[in-house]
Amino acid sequence: MSILVTGAAGFIGCNCVLHLNREGINDVIAVDNLTKAQKFQNLAKCRISDYFDKNDFIARVRNGSAPIPEALIHMGACSDTMETDGRYIMENNYRYTLDLFAWAQKQRIPFVYASSAATYGASTVFVEDVNNEGPLNCYGYSKYLFDQVLRSRMATLSAPAAGMRFFNVYGPHEQHKGRMASVAFHQYFQFKKEGKVKLFEGCLGYGNGCQMRDFVYVEDVVNCIMHFVKSGVSGIYNCGTGRAQPFNDIALTVVNTLTGQDLTLAAAVEKGLIEYIPFPEALVGKYQAYTQADLTQLRNAGCDVPFRTVQQGTADYMRYLMGAYPDGVLA
């Protein structure tokens, strides 16, 4: 079986390729942009049959010379929610996706792509409906706009197409993401360097570290993606745990896993192991203080993937990072 994965050197894309390899599928066509060459480290862990630069590949799609896979997993995108170059975001996230989708429909290739919970913006209702959506940044808008395209084409699809609305994904192989890497990732290296972890002070009516997100472990996300690759079900689906948990839960699990203790939050703060820092001005008006995926439509689509809690996933991730970066230094 031949699978094409865009963003294959990236965070979720790399985990998709590794999952396929574990299932015995090595005929994987990888597409990415290695301008940031360190991302090759993710690809080096994978078994692939070919590699294309993203610009070369989309040119081949447009001129009819691209290889035809049996399924397309489109994870490639600019995922920086603070990126200010709107033209770049729209070309990279919207136009590229639109062209891949049109090609997949023409060639009758099942298409699973990365949407985002950023489409919901400041909403407190996280159900896949346009009335609940209103992105707060250009990244969210780029995802929102393509979702509207899929919705408008649902009645006339010639091949399955599914959008996965990722909530706060964390886990292995995100080391290249810089400031967009997960809180758990940054806190591991903070603790190794400083002996403590940092969280934002309270905002929007939430106490220190009490802002709540739906944090979802990357392996669970990949299991959801593979369900839609195999099932042939179309639509837009939330991909989160269905549980909002505070950032404090991550910080405390990081501290307890790395120290081998079982401290309470109050004790960890009192000991100086968790520190609260001022909320950054750059995020004012652009920050989701609460997200929680409604999983009704995901479950109705037959996806019964179990999801780790923050405590389970963060502990798993800390053990991975301790093995990969025991000295707390990125190579």
| Dist. CA 236–CA 120, nearest whole Å | 13
3-state secondary structure the chain: CCEEEECCCCHHHHHHHHHHHHCCCCCEEEEECCCCHHHHHHHCCCCCCEEEEHHHHHHHHHHCCCCCCCEEEECCCCCCCCCCCHHHHHHHHHHHHHHHHHHHHHHCCCEEEEEEHHHHCCCCCCCCCHHHCCCCCHHHHHHHHHHHHHHHHHHHCCCCEEEEEECEEECCCCCCCHHHCCHHHHHHHHHHHHCCEEEECCCCCCCCCCCEECEEEHHHHHHHHHHHHHHCCCEEEEECCCCCEEHHHHHHHHHHHHHCCCCCHHHHHHCCCEEEECCCHHHCCCCCCECCCCCHHHHHCCCCCCCCCHHHHHHHHHHHHHHHCCCCCCC
The phi, psi pair for 168, rounded to 5°, reads -85, 95
Distance of CA 47 to the CA centre of its chain: 22
Q: The tokens of 295 are what?
A: 């999983």
Task: Say how many residues make up the chain.
Answer: 331
Catalytic residue among 94, 113, 120, 139: 139
Single-letter amino acid code for the residue at 83:
E
Cβ neighbours for 313, distance < 8 A, ≥ 6 positions apart: 170, 171, 215, 216, 217, 220
Known catalytic residue at 139: yes
Active-site residue set? 139, 177
